[in-house]
Amino acid sequence: MSRQRVGVYPGTFDPITLGHMDIIRRGAKLVDKLVIGVTTNISKSPMFSDEERLEMVRRECADIDTEIVVTGFNSLLMDFAESQGASVIVRGLRAVADFEYEYQMAGMNQQINCRVETVFLMADVSLQPIASRLVKEIALYGGPIHKFVSPAVRTEVEARVAAIGLKGGN
């Protein structure tokens, strides 16, 4: 009997974008089970709490046929992957700058745990410019984000911007 192929797609997902969802849907086709690891990178100034991001990702992934598990983690990626029984790390690439960073990370990760492969997926051309950081910045200045996130995520981002009172920041 063959072993279940498990992949891990890590990220902060603050907020989850259409670009993330593209990589999740395509990555899910490569494995039997996709674990989406939601982590905190405090250098990225999160807009949403860990729990809010976990719930957001769970909701956005609810209609995907592959088994999806959304869980938080705060450890080395390779330790997390090992704990999940993963043999694959799924990473999305948007541009050359992403490749240089991801290539370096994949090399370091391979040195830490050579049993886990990193698979790179190119973002859909129409989604390549999307970055959570830019979505937040556009929203903070009152710009339209509907082309970058789902309607539900847009509502949450706009509500958060309104709650912190920075919309249109002068």
Helix ranges (DSSP H) in the chain: 18-28, 50-61, 77-83, 96-112, 132-140, 151-164
Neighbours of 116 (CB within 10 A): 21
Find the catalytic residue in 53, 91, 132, 136. 132
Examine the residue annotation and report whether 25 is marked as an active-site residue of this protein.
no
Find the catalytic residue in 33, 58, 59, 94. 94
Find the catalytic residue in 29, 44, 146, 167. 44
Examine the residue annotation and report whether 136 is marked as an active-site residue of this protein.
no
Indicate the angle between helix axes 151-164 and 50-61, nearest 10 degrees: 160
Return the structure tokens found at 158. 């706009």
Examine the residue annotation and report whether 146 is marked as an active-site residue of this protein.
no
Find the catalytic residue in 20, 53, 91, 154. 20
Residues forming a β-bridge with 34? 7, 68
At 15, the amino acid letter reads P
Examine the residue annotation and report whether 150 is marked as an active-site residue of this protein.
no
What residues are annotated to the active site? 20, 44, 94, 132
